[in-house]
Structure 1
Amino acid sequence: MKKIIQVVLALCMAMVLFTGCNSKKEEKDTVNTGKQTETADKNQNEKTDDKTSPVIIKTVIKDMSSDDEVSVKFLEKVSEGVSKQLGREVKIELAPISEGTYSESLGLLIQSGVIPDLMYFQGGDYQFAITQGILEDLRPYIEESTYVKSLIQPYNKARLENYPYLLWLAPDRIKVPVVRQDWLDGSETGKALLENPTPENYKEFFKELVKQHNLLSAYTVPGDITELDTVFNLAFGVTQTWVMEGDSYVYSKVSQATKDKLGFYAELYKEGLLDKEWISKKWDTKESAFYNGEVGVVAGTQGSVVNVYNNKMTGQNGESAKLAVLPPAKGVAQGYTPSDVSKESRGWAINAYSENKDVAFAILEYMASPEGQVLDKLGYEDEHYTKEGEQYKLTDKIGEWWPRFHESIYQFEANFAPETPYYSQAAEKALDMVVQYSSFDNSFVIPDDYATNWDAQEALYAEFAAEVINGNRSIDEFDTYVKEWYALGGTEITEYANEVLNK
């Protein structure tokens, strides 16, 4: 018995020693930053300073997978270009992420401690990433860059100052209203609308469209009124998220300006000018209603989305059905939706604890270069385009391609054959119109302490607005809604807003 006990004790001691050694080994192989714990790839890190060894950059990119041949081929091409630019071999590899929505899958990945060198964020930057301090301040890299810096727009610059961790070189996601050019030209009210786009002139134009083309309605939106607001908000005085009433700021959605605007929307609905099914419309049904001639006007994001709308409309209805961009309504002020410059809502981030931050940024720099932009925007020669001298001619396969890195065409000076322009006239006009009618919002990131109440307040507004527009509640109940909004924490968030905005 004594011997058995001695054997058991010896085994236990051996297990303790083994576990202790293992723990020490794991501790040694783990980089503890004080804000995060991430497993270090020792072999890769030891080779980072060896100029003859390839630098491996781990990345995650939406809609790209290591199991997808198109993704792999594209990143091989990008790797070749970056390697040539740096004078050393770089290999870009996609880190696998779980199934589900992209934002959730990326969130799970970084919370597990596997943090890629270069990451595309969409749908938020995750509180985990902020509290753990894993995102690199990109401003020093941008300042030293050549190509990235040349593509920075005023709204990019403002967002980077407020939140320097995400870079997204693309036209701002501002929506503009569009209509068939032949319908605009053939209307009696179109000229007055273009010369003086007041809400009343918009209403008259809507009435004529419905009558002349036997439409179900003049305007439709996919489930909420954001795409109406981009046309009419400023005209009614909803010029920013927080507007001045008296000597202090109030939330625009409880302002007199919003009351006036909702009353106007209710009139559009009652008169059959706003789609009766707007609240149940989805993106696809909204767009099909537009192409099929059931509605006359919709809003689309400037640039790429307007380009898609134009190409689909002309493809289905002929070249005469090309799109025209309409101006924002004019009243108290005039403009499309102001740019939110509190931060980027999506974009590229670099792991602050990566061993290869400079190389990760060099990828973004290469893709902003003339050569990188051609690859990013046009795909592969003899497949997505052909080239005669310095002129690019796009093939039918260009419709299968989209930019993976930088969507911006600012200073993209490729010379295209007239018969295959990169953007349609409507898409280019949309970009110009947004510049003409641009402004900055004064919104700010809502602190966590107010977030729950804020969500409830937003839900309250959405419900009230829908009921007023659909005629289920009177606009005269606006004051009751405002009291409910303040009771849900509106007083506290308004006080906080005035502290922030009056600094």
Structure 2
Amino acid sequence: MTNQVWQRFLAISAVVCLLFLAACSSGGGNNDAGTGAKSEAGQNKTGENGSGQPEQKEPAAAEKVDPFGKYEPEIVVETVKATETNVKFAPGQSWDSNIWFDLIKRTLGIQIKNIWLAPAEGQQFEQKMNVTIASGDLPDFFEVSGSQLQQLAEDGQIADLTAVYDNYGSPLLKDLLDFDKGISLSAATIGGKLMAIPKPFGYSDTQGFIWIRNDWLQKYGLTPPEKLDDVWQIAQTFVDKQAGGAGTIGLPLRKDLEGDLGGVDQMFNSYHAYPRMWVKGQDGKLVYGSIQPEMKEALGKLQELYKSGIIDQEFGVKDYGKVCESALASGKAGIYFGGMADPLGCTSSGFQKEQADWVPYKLVSNDGKPVLSQAKIAPPSYYVVSKDAKHPEALIKILNLFGDVGFGERSKETHQDYNPLYFSQVGDTPSANFHVMPFVVFLQNKNVLDHKDYMEYLKDPAGYAFQETSDKQLFENMDAYLKWKETPGQPVDQTIATSWAYYMIFGPVSTQAVIDEAMQNNRYIFDEYLGPPTETMKQKQALLSKAEKDMMTRIVMGSASIDEFDKFVDQWRKLGGDKITEEVNAWYEARK
């Protein structure tokens, strides 16, 4: 389905991580009908219903409730939302008024009100959320990071969702949240209580790629890379030949050195280095990846590439948008390290502009050992409920509905609520789709299954039996690209560019094809620390992370020698790193 592609593209995000908390003792009653008087925002925060009587208590666990029960009269829930610059709205729609909000109001009797919006880029949302948390004036439901969750739980500002989730969660929602056998729900549990609903993260799509313009490879008689030195030679050739015209960029990076396009994690992984992760050391204990010797080797190579002019000399002032514009949209770059859903972003602009033939290749190393892509299993973020919210179960109902629209009965064309625009753009009709939703849940690691299904479909399109309506839409979308290819020389409109993007994600030669092989051969390495921020992390992590980022940037740009890495390691250990390592391993041992 296209759902997972869009989830990964967010964030990119995320996306931050985009995507839980607490049941309090007052719910919607046996018939799930909210009857409370409302404040200015419409939400009942008085503890009484419309007749002045106390709210009904949460139904007992044995009592049956309707996971989709509608509130009559309707209730209003306040929230906040991280916005994405790439989202395009149909006429008359916005972050505050859209087809999703209409569906939730019509189906559940819940009106969602955004108190404020903030861009996801540059941690603007997280920073504004910190200010909101400090003020104590919290919305009813909102998304938080792991450290924010821990703080809110310790301060008693959020509700316990254990009973709410047990009573109101639909079977489908519980299946979706238990895809990792309870790891995500465990991460949201504090002191034995479910203090949040996790935004689980399917690890498969974290695989890294080397994106290369095949048309440039063929033009200069080059072959796909088999080892890392081949990658550098390809980039060097593109620069020497000025393949993209004057100012050709050999290897684009961005100033924060993180993320897909312009990030360096994939390059580090090719040297068997794993920054910002806790991995098993030779003695079986957890060690911090950013201070291991493999990092020094990778940084030394990046410094060499920068000095030789291969790496973009202006990367230190470029964010994601600038890299997109200066390297890909402009046609100046022909190779970069990136992510699974890149064709839905900047890469498609190059295809639409000059039919740039971008192809994803698997990561390679120089020593012949398989490259393991780093991945985190712990949720990137969580949904929590203010302790003052009078309808905590409404969050669960919203998630029930979202899951049903994406993967349940409402995903079928025969259902009265079916609408493909909830998750996809159809033709040239712009759709912000699920990006407008402050609360989402997805079927994890499904993209690779869709790739496999598409490969079966290609064997006999006419006789293929579709299992899901969304698969039919996706496959027909990719077929439009194949049909377009039959007549060379045609212009590329937005519809074809989108079809090409899906084909490069799900087709025979695609990111999901690489992911399929990676999953079969276990080419992933996971962050072993799944716990909340330790006490020393809370005090020192911001300082240590900044020192790490500064060290990397200075070394790559040559303003510091490679020996700066050793100084950083010593500094990291003395400024709290050793204590954090001790705390992380104490947690790890307790889990065994």
With structure 2 as the length reference, what TM-score do the two structures score?
Answer: 0.63
Shift of 1:269: 1.5
* Residue identity in the other structure for 1:427: I
Whole-Å Cα distance in 2 between the matches of residues 142 and 222 of structure 1?
Answer: 44
Query: Aligned in 2, Cα 1:72/1:142: closer, same or farther, shift over 3 Å?
Result: farther
Aligned to 1:148: 173
Query: How many pairs does the alignment contain?
Result: 441
Match runs of 1:33-432 below 5 Å = 39-40=45-46, 42-43=48-49, 53-62=72-81, 70=94, 71-80=96-105, 82-83=107-108, 90-97=109-116, 101-109=124-132, 114-121=137-144, 125=148, 128-133=151-156, 134-137=158-161, 141=165, 144-152=169-177, 157-164=182-189, 165-168=196-199, 174=206, 176-186=209-219, 188-191=221-224, 193=225, 196=226, 198-212=227-241, 213=243, 216-226=248-258, 227-239=262-274, 241-247=277-283, 248-288=285-325, 289-303=327-341, 305-318=342-355, 321-330=356-365, 331=367, 334-335=370-371, 337-342=373-378, 344-351=379-386, 354-370=389-405, 394-398=426-430, 401-405=433-437, 406=440, 408=442, 410=446, 413-414=469-470, 415-416=472-473, 417=476, 418-419=479-480, 424-428=502-506, 429-431=510-512
1:225 aligned counterpart, secondary structure: coil
Shift of 1:94: 0.7
Shift of 1:469: 1.8
Residue 442 of structure 1 pairs with residue 442 of structure 2 = no
Shift of 1:211: 2.8
473, 491, 501: which one aligns with 2:578: 491
For the 8 Å contact 2:75–2:110, the answer to whether it is kept is yes
Whole-Å Cα distance in 2 between the matches of residues 407 and 299 of structure 1?
Answer: 28
Query: Whose radius of gyration is greater, 1 or 2?
Result: 1
Please give the per-residue CA displacement for 1:258-303, whole angstroms capped at 9, x wherever unaligned: 1111112122212222111222211121001222122223445433
Whole-Å Cα distance in 2 between the matches of residues 115 and 311 of structure 1?
Answer: 40
Name structure 2 gaps, 5 residues minimum: 1-35, 37-43, 58-68, 84-91, 190-195, 451-467, 481-494
Query: Aligned in 2, Cα 1:316/1:287: closer, same or farther, shift over 3 Å?
Result: same
* Residue identity in the other structure for 1:274: I
Identity of aligned residues (%): 15
For the 8 Å contact 1:118–1:350, the answer to whether it is kept is yes
Shift of 1:186: 4.3
* Residue identity in the other structure for 1:302: M
For the 8 Å contact 1:306–1:427, the answer to whether it is kept is yes
Query: Aligned in 2, Cα 1:400/1:477: closer, same or farther, shift over 3 Å?
Result: closer
Aligned to 1:24: none
For the 8 Å contact 1:338–1:439, the answer to whether it is kept is yes
For the 8 Å contact 1:48–1:356, the answer to whether it is kept is no
For the 8 Å contact 2:376–2:526, the answer to whether it is kept is yes
With structure 1 as the length reference, what TM-score do the two structures score?
Answer: 0.73
Whole-Å Cα distance in 1 between the matches of residues 368 and 587 of structure 2?
Answer: 25
Whole-Å Cα distance in 1 between the matches of residues 133 and 215 of structure 2?
Answer: 51
Greater relative CO (CA pairs within 8 A, separation 6+): 2
More helix per residue: 1
